[in-house]
Amino acid sequence: MKLLNYKEQGNGDPLILIHGLFGNLDNLGLLARQFENDYRVISVDLRNHGHSFQSDEHNYHALAADVIQLLEHLSISSAHLIGHSMGGKVAMAIADIKPSLLASLVVLDMAPIAYPERKHDAVFSGLQQLIESPPASRKEADTILARSIVEPGVRQFLSKSLYKNGEHLALRFNVSALFDNYSHIIGWDKITPFGGNVLFVKGQNSDYIIADYQQDIIAQFPNAKAHVVNGTGHWLHAEKPDTIYRVINRFIEKVALR
């Protein structure tokens, strides 16, 4: 049995944090530290990311099954799930496969749809150049990535998954598996309607959730609530962590009172 790598902190009702594409369990670390005062926080590395196992298979059914297996291993039968981006889709897939597991669901800047456009081709190009010419330093890595990736913030985010491998730096996530399965990552198979407590949190400046997707959201999550965080993009939890914490905590507290 292959279990996901995870980090556990705090005590209380279980709260699961699931990162997005090219990330790892540290990406939601600010939220983890805030929630650990009141919850048993479990942050996971998804397959092909961080210190978790690598696999040629990378689709939402498999990713969700990995998380369910870990929670069963930890004897957790009910939890609050929070997922960002790809991790949001993983959490939504869990709601389909094992709805009884979710005390609540919070999806950060992701919709339950198949996205029509490829948003990460420049990223994959930069990562492939890192693989072909392994850098000796983070500065060199940034120079290589900058050939394809204009945004310094994106390069900085990707560099968090670099580690020392002999005399060079290497990437912890499985670039080839993610590239080969990219159609699954941006894709989505509509789920049976989940009637539980769901909150979609959108970054105001992000196009991952737009008005056109509202019908798909309500069809699959008929009781969903929405909250827009002003002045943020797709990485809203990193841009305004205190605001995101308050929004999520208020939602979970209301759920507990029902």
* Element holding 45 (H helix, E strand): none
Residue 121 to residue 182: CA distance in whole angstroms: 10
Residue 92 to residue 74: CA distance in whole angstroms: 20
Single out the catalytic residue among 80, 120, 234, 237: 234
Where does 46-101 show beta strands of DSSP type E? 79-84
Helices (H) and strands (E) in the chain, counts: 11, 9
DSSP-based three-state secondary structure for 102: strand
Question: Residue 3, Cβ neighbours under 10 Å: how many?
Answer: 13
Q: With beta carbons less than 8 A apart as the criterion, state whether 22 and 122 touch.
A: no
Q: With beta carbons less than 8 A apart as the criterion, state whether 92 and 75 touch.
A: no
Map 102-144 to HEC letters: EEEEEEECCCCCCCCCCCCHHHHHHHHHHHHCCCCCHHHHHHH
Residue 47 to residue 230: CA distance in whole angstroms: 32
Single out the catalytic residue among 43, 52, 85, 104: 85
Active-site residue flag, 85: yes
Active-site residue flag, 234: yes
Residue 84 to residue 82: CA distance in whole angstroms: 7
Using alpha carbons, list the distances in angstroms from residue 197 to 169, 215, 226, 227: 43, 17, 11, 14
Catalytic residues: 85, 234
